Amino acid sequence: MFITGIGTAVPTKRYQQKECFEALQNSFYFAHLTLRSRAILKKVLLGNNGISTRHLALDKLEEAFEVTPDILHARFVQNAPQLATQAAQRALANSGKTAAEMDAVIVSTCTGYLCPGLTSYVSEQLGLRKNVFALDLVGQGCGAALPNLRTAESLIASGNHKNVLSICVEVCSAAFYLDDDPGVLISACLFGDGAGAAVLSNEPGSRAIKWIGTDSVMSTGDRDLLRFETRNGLLRNILSPEVPDVAAQHASVVLESLLQKTNHRKDEITSWIFHAGGRDVLLALQKKLELDAGFLCWSSRVLNDYGNLSSPFVYFVLDLALKEDAPPGLWWLASFGAGFSSHGALLEVS
């Protein structure tokens, strides 16, 4: 399998972290939070947390405090199909392929629910063939991009599909609200909205990006550290302080396993494409994998400009590394998320 095109999309509205804190201070919710909660919000939004700006599907920040299940669902319905379609259109243009050439489309999300799923709306807007194989994947959280790509690999390996469109889209602002839970507060400060897409083919594109191999681990014992729950009709993000260290530990296991399976060495990897749950996650990965800070530059820049985009994040990092001509050779692509799951893949980039 080859990655022949990459595309990304974000809402037009971009907000600085300082703007977000000012809006919070003026909101109804802020006065009803504990002093500890207010201190957490100030520290995360105004401190050095690796994020400067985020794109949110909000015409004005005050909309973030209009929190009912119906309003949040409407925000997802309005924005998720649009963002997914935009990212897919850019991936198709980047690949030089048309919508009619796509044999399958796979869409991953965790920040909203539709039935029929997003593939129905995206297929319609893109003009995909009526007989396209459409698959919606849900419940994999921030790590969904790699399982999505791995599914595409299986479809192409079957010989029944030549081109597969892979899409991850998250409207994280459709899962924002505030209470005195530190995980809920920090989530509202870190996450941004966006979509990423890739065209996968059985033949290389203009720049050969070959999928060499992939591996995953699922640690159910750590499941409650990072997940969604539903309370009062609202998605509630569970985000525990242990996440950075746990993510780094599992990432190390996946990397070592796949290197052994493919008979490669860590020092052969020239570029590292990481999902960044936040600054502390990147620092934990750097320490555990014994990497120079420069190897995390692509992930750090995406985090700074967009925040934690959840599942589309690695598409943004891969797109940036390709556009800026990161060194060719073996690239490591990795994500983690609910489960607790960790995923990795080796790419050979010419």
State pLDDT tens for residues 134-176: 999 998 999 999 999 999 999 999 999 999 999 999 999 998 8
Q: For residue 52, what pLDDT is reported?
A: 96
> Can you tell me which residue has the tokens 């209470």?
179
2-201, CATH topology level: Peroxisomal Thiolase; Chain A, domain 1 (3.40.47)
Q: For residue 180, what pLDDT is reported?
A: 84
Concatenated DSSP letters of 150-203: HHHHHHHHTTS-SEEEEEEEE-GGGG----S-HHHHHHHHHB--EEEEEEEESS
Taking 80 as the threshold, does the pLDDT of residue 238 lie above it? no
Lowest mean pLDDT among 85-99, 103-117, 229-243, 256-270: 229-243
User: What's at 96, amino acid-wise?
Assistant: G
Give the separation between CA 30 and CA 88, rounded to whole angstroms: 38
Give the separation between CA 333 and CA 341, rounded to whole angstroms: 14
- The pair phi, psi for residue 222, each rounded to 5°, is -100, 10
Q: For residue 290, what pLDDT is reported?
A: 95
Q: For residue 233, what pLDDT is reported?
A: 78
Q: What is the mean pLDDT of residues 60-80?
A: 92
Provide the 3-class DSSP secondary structure of residue 216. strand
Render pLDDT for 170-192 as a digit per residue (tens, 0 to 9).
Answer: 999 998 888 888 888 888 899 99
Which one, of 136, 137, 141, lies nearest residue 312 by Cα? 141
Dihedral sign of CA atoms 237, 238, 241, 244 in order: negative
Taking 80 as the threshold, does the pLDDT of residue 67 lie above it? yes
209-349, CATH topology level: Peroxisomal Thiolase; Chain A, domain 1 (3.40.47)
Give the separation between CA 135 and CA 129, rounded to whole angstroms: 14
Q: What is the mean pLDDT of residues 322-340?
A: 93
Neighbours of 203 (CB within 10 A): 10
Provide the 3-class DSSP secondary structure of residue 117. coil
Domain map of the chain by residue range? 2-201, 209-349
Q: For residue 18, what pLDDT is reported?
A: 95
Average pLDDT, the chain: 93
**Structural contact between residues 15 and 54, judged by C-beta atoms closer than 8 angstroms:** yes
Output the pTM of the full model: 0.95
Taking 90 as the threshold, does the pLDDT of residue 265 lie above it? yes
Taking 90 as the threshold, does the pLDDT of residue 90 lie above it? yes
Lowest mean pLDDT among 204-213, 224-233, 317-326, 328-337: 224-233
Tell me whether the CATH fold assigned to 2-201 matches the one assigned to 209-349. yes
